[in-house]
Amino acid sequence: MAVGIFDSGLGGLTVLKAAQSRLPDVDFLYYADSARAPYGVRDAEDIYQLTKSAVQDMWSKGCDLVILACNTASAAALRRMQEEGLPAGKRVLGVFVPLIEAMTERQWGDNSPPREVAVKHVALFATPATVSSRAFQRELAFRAIGVDVEAQACGGIVDAIEDGDMILAEALVRSHVEALKRKMPEPQAAILGCTHYPLLESCFQDALGADVKVFSQGKLVADSLADYLQRHPHMQGAGAGGYYTTGNPDRVSDRATQFLRRQISFQAA
């Protein structure tokens, strides 16, 4: 019973890497729905059904706790899965809340009413599906008031990263940042709302300027997971983790090895 980390592709490896570093004694099961990636261009119902199917497969493989490292899945599927009810002893968590709590300087688990925060102008870079869901804005409204969020749908970046074309990915980042700045010339903070984007964090930072604080999710999610497991140690379980993909295991393994700069071997889901 390892802790599960789900992503539509390989972007969630940025969360996995941080989680393994923060929690070296925890086994993780990483599941990439590579055959159907990217999720960011799909409609909400499709994303929900694909996410639900993948999470059920992860439960069947022994995960009691699954982290939706895919922002698009968190945006389009998490709340609906929770509202429709989860099997006894199973939990699914997303990646938005730790990010928002860090940005608004709230403690993990703080359920006090929303309040004024220092950051007033926030740029959100995310997939088209995440942007259209407005899930980030909804979660932010539970915790902060008076924050202006300008969202930029970043088409093409995930595909370029998954294909290993980092030159194209960096060019797309610069183009999307320019488009965002035409709408919000002086953002105070920027949210990298896709787990692929931390691979290009320095490119985002350069394009935005040194005075913009860039938030990405790996360490924040890992710290929140550590806190959660401390409060709910029974959700950690025991046993072997592993790497699963709905795509071609050899191809996905090669890409993952490039991502993490260590040998990663996926098996068919």
**C-alpha–C-alpha distance, residues 51 and 74, integer Å:** 9
- Torsion sign (Cα): 78, 79, 85, 89: positive
Instruction: Identify the helix (H) or strand (E) that includes residue 178.
Output: helix 166-183
Q: Is 63 a catalytic residue?
A: no
**C-alpha–C-alpha distance, residues 41 and 129, integer Å:** 6
DSSP 70-130: -HHHIIIIIHHHHHH---TT-EEE-SHHHHHHHHTT--TT--SPPEE-S--EEEEEE-HHH
CB neighbour class for 167 (10 Å; exposed up to 12, middle 13-18, buried from 19): exposed
The CB density around residue 211, as the number of other CB atoms within 10 Å, is 8
Instruction: Identify the helix (H) or strand (E) that includes residue 244.
Output: strand 242-245
Strand 91-93 with 65-68, pairing: parallel
* CA 6 from centroid of its chain's CA atoms: 9
Q: Is 70 a catalytic residue?
A: yes
Query: What is the DSSP-derived secondary structure letter of residue 235?
Result: G
Q: Which of 63, 154, 194, 203 is catalytic?
A: 194
* Catalytically annotated residues: 70, 194
